[in-house]
Amino acid sequence: MIKVDINGDFDKLNPIIAISADIGELRKQLSIGEYNKCMWSIFMLEYPLKKINPKAEIPYDLRLIDIQKGYNANFNPKDPYVKAASTSFSQYCLSFEENMFKIQKDKLDEFTAHFRGMDMATEFKTFIEASKSLPSIWKNFEKVRDDMIKSEKHDLKALGDVQLSKSEQKRIDQG
């Protein structure tokens, strides 16, 4: 599990993640202060679970603006080094189910933003057609979310499906 302190040294808190080649390339491009801010910005933008990332519930485009205005004005997720580090971050930090959840959530955010920007006077038919697919999209999203939750609960169980002791559960919860 990732250790979080947005004012801390990313590599010291997360040494296994920091050994990624793509993250290493980003580190070479920036000063240590800029690098740490960039990695924590990637975390705030990419990590999909609210229990660790309070920004996770904000739609992607608004989350990016929030990060740039409130934490790291120089953060550019389209920069090739940042993009590669971001992909690597997701591969190290997210399970398959969490990654699928993140992808589904980001696509729903895009869909919602598109709906929000539609002009009903000129795009009403398009809106109606797109709306017809919403029930199946939501059903699929709920399945992915439920699979992620099941996977998370499964990861917390000890081998053999025995219950963890309170002290074991406390250590897991503290990460």
Given this model, what pLDDT does residue 173 score? 65
- Cα–Cα distance between 70 and 66 in angstroms, integer? 6
What is this structure's pTM? 0.73
- Residue 102 neighbours by CB under 8 Å, 6+ apart: 46, 48, 90, 94
What confidence tens digit (pLDDT) does each residue in 48-82 have?
888 899 999 898 889 999 999 999 999 999 999 99
Q: Which run of H or E residues covers position 44?
A: helix 32-46
CA–chain centroid gap for 83, Å, is 13
Mean pLDDT of the region 138-158: 74
Per-residue model confidence as pLDDT tens digits over 86-103: 999 988 888 888 888 888
Residues whose CB is less than 8 angstroms from the CB of residue 18 and which lie 6 or more positions away in sequence, other chains included: 10, 11, 24, 27
Question: CA angle, 114 as apex, 110 and 118 as ends, to 5°?
Answer: 170
Q: What is the pLDDT of residue 157?
A: 46
Q: Which amino acid is at 96?
A: F
